Amino acid sequence: MRRFLVSCLVILFVLVPGSQAMAKSSNADQLRAELAGLHKQLMEVKSPTEAQLLQARMAVLIGELERDPEVQRNLAELKAKIDAKVKAKIAHDLANNERLPGPGKTVGKAGLTTDDAGSAVTATVLPEGETVAVASTVRWDLLRRGDIMHVNNKKFFNLYALYYSHSGIYDGGNLVYDSNTDGVRLRPLSDWQQGQPVALGYNNRRTYSERVAALDWAKARYGTDGSTPYNWNFLNKQTDSSLYCSQLVWKTNLYLGDDLDSNDGDYAWFLFIRYGLVGLTFAYYAVAPDEIYLSPLVTYYSVGTG
């Protein structure tokens, strides 16, 4: 809570010149007011069809809002700032993780490592002492059960997305455990392999066996056949009766005692620019895929398109 309040103070006071400038645009304010109203309606929908209609209207309004010159400037500056932060995090993650060798790391000629369960996991095969350059394509071959996955997929609404619009957990056997409009289910990995941006990582506070145990707990608790419905009230992340995608990932890791909701201050500012004060409410009470992506508790070994 303290971290979120500090973020709000930064937004409202340190960045006040930018917010004052936006306040001069009555059109932008009007669009934000309309978006806030639609946002409230979205939290109360009863069907996917109703939600899709609201999201479509919100997407149109966001497009209009982002054509405002002042909004464009603020978003461009913010995006550059967050991009720099993300680039530094990913560079650190790729150099310090349990899958890929990075600067100062090597793998043997056999190219094999052993996971906590004692089974062989294929790694990058390199000559002795040689390091690897991370490819831009997704390293699907390095996926292990319990891994955290994000995708920016047009099948999923991206009203709140800077980088990723959907999250899930890899269950092995080319299956992903996630939640979509038809509820919490196991789905084929091929649904994620459509040429969109993807990030693969893991909870860096836990061992492989702990991550798998959390996944198995979630599957037993929430089911794999849609018996737990989709949660349209994104602000109610505490409920167990319905779950949205990143809420499922958050709950699974919270079972281990790890809160992956970063409540990132820059992400909160992004939502503030789009939605006004309702964006700050969303930043704290909801858990978006980008908030998990920006969490220091998640290390990524693959970020690319595939």
Q: Which domains does the chain have, with CATH numbers?
A: 2-100+136-305 (3.90.1720.10)
Q: What is the pLDDT of residue 154?
A: 67
Quote the longest CA-to-CA distance of the chain. Answer: 64
**How many residues comprise the chain?**
306
Buried b (16+ CB within 10 A) or exposed e, 103-112: eeeebeeeee
Lateral strand order in the sheet of 148-151: 183-188, 175-180, 166-172, 148-151, 197-203, 298-305
Residues sharing a CB contact under 8 Å with residue 83, sequence separation 6 or more, in sequence order: none
In the DSSP assignment, the letter for residue 14 is: I
pLDDT digits (tens, 9 = 90+) for 186-235: 999 999 998 899 999 999 999 999 999 999 999 999 999 999 999 999 99
Q: Tell which residue, 197, 150, 156, 194, has the closest CA to residue 294.
A: 150
In the DSSP assignment, the letter for residue 136 is: S
Q: Tell which residue, 168, 157, 186, has the closest CA to residue 247.
A: 168
Whether the predicted pLDDT of 92 surpasses 50: yes
Buried b (16+ CB within 10 A) or exposed e, 207-216: ebebbbebbe
Identify the bridge partners of residue 188 per DSSP, sorted by sequence position: 175
Whether the predicted pLDDT of 133 surpasses 70: no
- Helix axis angle for 16-23 and 26-42, nearest 10°, is 100
Q: How confident is the model at residue 9 (pLDDT cuts 50, 70, 90)?
A: very low
Q: Taking residues 15-25, what's their average pLDDT? A: 44
- Helix axis angle for 2-9 and 277-285, nearest 10°, is 160
Residue 121: phi, psi to the nearest 5? -125, 125
Q: Residue 285 is encoded by which pair of tokens? A: 């009470």
Q: Taking residues 240-261, what's their average pLDDT? A: 98
Q: How confident is the model at residue 45 (pLDDT cuts 50, 70, 90)?
A: confident
